[in-house]
Amino acid sequence: MADDEKRVFLTVGTTAFNELINTVNQSDICNVLKELGYSRLLVQKGRGQVDPKQPENIEGFRVEHYQYKESLHDDMQEADLIISHAGAGTCLEVLNMQKPLVVVINEELMGNHQLELAKRLQSDSHLFYTTCKDLPDLLRNLDISSLKPFETGRPEKFASFLDKAMGIS
């Protein structure tokens, strides 16, 4: 791997999010990422039944994938951009790393607490959120410089925020 290679890491956590993998496979997302200067997409696909595919006719761009690893930390750390499901643990880990984050909401989930979390973190300019359908457009217009760093080292603040977002307190 070249040191100047720009990388995108996509994670769905421990769940299945086939719609997101299908979106990456069937849309022009890889073309958009290539246009933005990225040359590698690494996908952690979780329990999903769909494998990410290497796009045809895109030279200098590669897609790799795996199901699970004991830790995603190294893959996140090496990434220049992270695309993720809206799991609270994943969001917190990425934000604590000060990495640009695009959260894709799984609209098939019942009682979608992920949407509440993503809306709040986007309103505070910590990340961008979207749906599978709107992911290509969001990436085309991505302005990472508009993101504000997440205040790290205060897990109780995030826990309190999460409790409020989920209606617990």
Q: Considering the domain boundaries, does residue 126 fall inside one?
A: yes
Q: Which residue has the higher pLDDT, 150 or 40?
A: 40
Q: Considering the domain boundaries, does residue 58 fall inside one?
A: yes
**Residue range(s) defining the domain that contains residue 100:** 7-165
Report the C-alpha gap between 83 and 128 in whole angstroms: 10
Q: Considering the domain boundaries, does residue 1 fall inside one?
A: no
pLDDT mean over 109-132: 84
CB 56 within 8 A of CB 45: no
CB 40 within 8 A of CB 80: no
Q: Which residues lie closer than 8 Å to 114 by C-beta, 6 or more apart? A: 85, 86, 87, 103, 105, 106
User: What is the CATH classification number for the domain harbouring 56?
Assistant: 3.40.50.2000
Enter the pTM of the model.
0.86
Residue 126 has pLDDT above 90, yes or no: yes
* pLDDT class of 66 with cuts at 50, 70, 90: very high
